[in-house]
Amino acid sequence: MRRHVGFYLAAMKMSILEQFQYRAQNYFYMIGMIAEPIIYLVVWSSVANQQGGSVGGYTAGTFAAYYIVWTLVRNMNIVFTPYGWEWRLQHGRLSAELMRPIHPIHNDVAYFAGWKVVVIVLWLPLAAVLALIFKPSLNPTWLQLVVFFFAIWGAYLIRTMFLSLLGMIAFWTTRVGAIYELYFALELILSGRLVPMTLMPAWVQRVALFLPFQSAFYFPINALVGQLGPVELLSGLGLQLVWILVGVGLVNIVWSRGIKRFSAVGN
Amino acid sequence: MRLIELVWSYLRIGVANEMQYRVNFFLQLLQSLVALGTGLIGLWLVFNQTTSLAGWSQPELLAVMGVYILMGGVIQAGIQPNMQRLVDEIQEGTLDFALTKPVDGQLIVSIREFRFWQLTDVLVGLVVLVFASVQLRQQVSGMQTLAFIVALFLGGVMIYSFWLMLTTTAFWLTRIGEMVNLFQGLYAAGRWPVTIYPDWLRLGLTFLVPVAFAVTVPAEALTNRLSPTTLLGALVLALALFVLARIVWRLGVRSYSGASA
């Protein structure tokens, strides 16, 4: 355990230093990403205005809050991609990582977690500018702020686990792009990335309850922007924990089966 | 005539290349359909709540989406791969091979790559447009079709010119991957008619990044909203951008010094 803590601290520090070097590049990337939520925001606030001020419980102001917080949660959702797994397996990169005395996934988790620290710092001015332009109505309680802080890291871990699972499909087949795209489309709709879940038809909301997507996206945003009481907030965090544990369990099972099939050599 | 011959032979090479990987056609088709599906869901969610968006009815917005997908296919098949290759070659200093060929440099860097399978998006876009015009329950006249094709062509020219200018900055800046990323993000704004955006964004999408002319204007032609003045404006802007791109390209090439070819 102490060995792992030491590793995490060192790996995170390394990636913080590294990514801070590339801050301009990181910024361009983040700015490129805000086009998507701004489009949703504009569309939905004009729908809200047309419907006499609110739609599905959201006004133009709360939509603005939703989609601005969205940008941070989206950034927290960026983890080692399944395409990276595909590359790592097909090019035999994994061989070198297997030589280390620690499970390779720890490195993924630690490296991207460090990167997130840089991203959060860079996000703050971006959020300030967006807030000036779109005037969100946002007044969270202290509890909401605290829960939000933990929820974005929970979201990060959930998505890391499930995308690792997705990536490990490449142990069995080489044509994985189509599966990934289908998964991402499903995630777009069922996570709250496209619209707040309350705007979805009731049956879609019910289906989403049984899937991990919401916990990694809608819940953190809603924790800060929504009107959740203490019980809902804490049970939301609890559900995140359940999904993290489910994810870790599945990753372990799939990994131990998949790694037996891995036969690439070289680096 | 030399020009047509050249374009034709590169096109043939591109198609022959892609024909080696036929499974990719199905993967591409699947991807196009997934993108279409999510687009339709977005549209459907909006019209669950309202009957029109900024004066556009549902079938009209479907037409906008059709043009968006179609133009996206054209960009992905013919424009983006060429520009990507240009950036790579400027970075690596291997552009010499293209520049030393006995034809115009701008021409050759613009036609070398052709991703045939990406045309599935053009197909999907056309199907969406047919559906939209059936839903609109109006006869699309010959004049309208002509205006649509002209507007689409002008939009394509503008996107090409804009992207060439963006790419040409690589002669000075070298690393422009993020800018390309930015453009792709902004192009996604074309999924909706630019009239729904706030003024500052609409102006940007019209004159800085010509998304308005590439998608909204052709869709206006189909939905009976296009005024001759707008089409004339598109013509003028397309010509201006094309000439400007040419000038920027010339300046860029002048400052290019092959590194290691």
Both structure tokens of B130: 């047919």
Q: How confident is the model at residue B261 (pLDDT cuts 50, 70, 90)?
A: very low
Nearest Cα residue in chain A from B175 = A25
- Decide: helix, strand or coil at residue A54: strand
| pLDDT tens-digit map of A198-224 | 999 999 999 999 999 999 999 999 999
The verdict on pTM exceeding 0.90 is: no
A47 interfaces chain B, CB cutoff of 8 Å:
yes
B201 touches A at CB < 8 Å: yes
Strand ranges (E), A122-213: none
Highest mean predicted confidence (pLDDT) among A151-160, B26-35, B183-192, B226-235: A151-160
Pairing of strands A54-55, A58-59: antiparallel
Residue A132, domain member (yes or no): yes
Decide if B192 and A39 are in contact by the 8 Å CB cutoff.
yes
For B43, the closest chain A residue by CA position comes to: A43
Q: Which of B169, B182, B199, B205 to mutate against chain A (most A CBs within 10 Å)?
A: B182
Tell whether B42 lies on the interface with A, counting CB pairs under 8 A: yes
Q: How many independent structural domains does chain A possess?
A: 1
Cβ atoms A217, A243 nearer than 8 A:
no
Band of residue B185 on the pLDDT scale cut at 50, 70, 90: confident
- Residue in A with minimal Cα distance to B200: A133
Q: Residues of A with CB below 8 A from B199's CB?
A: none
Q: Which two tokens stand for residue A142?
A: 């202290």
Position A220 in a domain:
yes
DSSP A6-36: HHHHHHHHHHHHHHHHTHHHHHHHHHHHTHH
| Share above pLDDT 70 across residues of chain B, in percent, rounded to a whole number | 98
Q: A63: which chain B residues are within 8 Å (Cβ-Cβ)?
A: none
Residue A267 lies in a domain: no
A189 → chain B, closest CA residue? B38
* ipTM score for this prediction: 0.82
Residue B258: which pLDDT band, with cuts at 50, 70 and 90? low
Neighbours of B130 (CB within 10 A): 12
A75 closest CA partner among A39, A122, A38 = A122
* pLDDT tens per residue, range A59-95: 999 999 999 999 999 999 999 999 999 888 888 888 8
Q: How confident is the model at residue A96 (pLDDT cuts 50, 70, 90)?
A: confident
Written as one string, the DSSP assignment of A66-81 is HHHHHHHHHHHT--S-
Do B54 and A31 make contact, defined as CB atoms within 8 angstroms? no
Determine, yes or no, domain membership for A64: yes
In a domain, A7, yes or no: yes
Q: Is B37 on the interface with A (CB under 8 A)?
A: yes
Please give the residue range of the domain that contains residue A82. Answer: 2-261
Boundaries of every domain in chain B: 2-254
Q: Is residue A221 part of a domain?
A: yes
* A266, part of any domain: no
